[in-house]
Amino acid sequence: MPHKITLTGSATGPLREYDRYVAFDMREKGSPSAPKGLKKSTFISYTVFVAKKAFNKTGLTKKSIMHEKILIQGEPTLDIPIDECPGEVGVICFQITVLPNKIDKEKNESDEKKEPKQEVSAPSEAQKNTESTKKEEEQVPVSQPVAKEGKKAETVQSEVKEKSVQEKKAEPQKTQMPNQPKGTQDVLSFDDIIVPEEFLKTRPNPEKTQKVIDFVKRTGRLDEPLTVEKESKILKDGYRRYVVAKTVKMDKVPVIYEYQR
């Protein structure tokens, strides 16, 4: 089974184009906690090889790849000629994703703070209806004669009260959580979700994954909740959205519970 490797960062050198693929250099710092007696590892240089079709779908260019933060998922290789692989380790890329920058994250956080306040400040139609019914209750008994029409006044008051009760019953209850996709039952910590081995062996479609990432950049939330088991927190459906949440580093994710049988 080939070893998998994940890199994050920006290109450290210019983009090199070949017949069916492109290549660029990256580097990452080694682990700061080396065993006693060994020196701490310094920066490790990598040369990444990406198919042209996959690279073009990201929207990156020769200039932007030096400034955008990207996520590379692939496997190391030793079969690349030395003149094409100046890095210490060659990496064949399976998936390349452009990560959101700090400005986009700050906008999403500010939008999340503003949305709940807007919901509280706006008066609902049910409140307006109840206020109008109260005014009718106060006005009706005054307009009716006291002696002969007393019974009619009581019946009108009872009808008004029945209408107000029916309106309250008919009022839809808002169970939707603020700034979460439709159907969300709960919000869990990303680290609490357990991913089965069969999901980890698959690779979501890069184009569809990028569309979900763009949606998160615009709205600050996922388009649909993940499906997990209630007790074990094992992921049952929504692995693509799990990958997106991991890519954009979301602390909390919306979920729907599936109870164990």
> pLDDT tens digit string along 84-137?
888 888 999 999 998 887 666 666 666 666 665 444 445 556 565 666 656 555
Report DSSP state, residue 37. T
Mean pLDDT, 10 residues at a time, the chain of 261 residues: 81 89 86 71 86 90 86 88 84 90 64 56 57 58 48 65 63 60 90 91 90 91 91 92 92 86 59
For residue 13, the tally of other CB atoms under 10 A from its CB is 16
Query: What is the side-by-side strand order in the sheet with 186-189?
Result: 186-189, 252-258, 226-229, 235-237
CATH of 186-258, one of 3.40.190.10, 3.90.1530.10, 3.40.50.10540, 1.20.120.420: 3.90.1530.10
Q: Where are the domains of the chain?
A: 5-30+41-99, 122-170, 186-258
Q: Give dist(CA 162, CA 71) in Å, integer.
A: 61
Distances (CA, A) of 173 to 7, 112, 128, 169, 177: 46, 22, 16, 9, 12
Q: Which long-range contacts (CB under 8 A, 24 or more apart) does 163-169 make?
A: 163/133, 164/129, 164/130, 164/133, 167/126, 167/129, 167/130, 167/133, 168/126, 168/130
CATH of 5-30+41-99, one of 3.40.1400.10, 2.40.50.140, 2.40.30.10, 3.30.70.2190: 2.40.50.140
Do 5-30+41-99 and 186-258 agree at the fold level? no
> Crossing angle, helix 206-219 and helix 102-121, to 10 degrees?
50
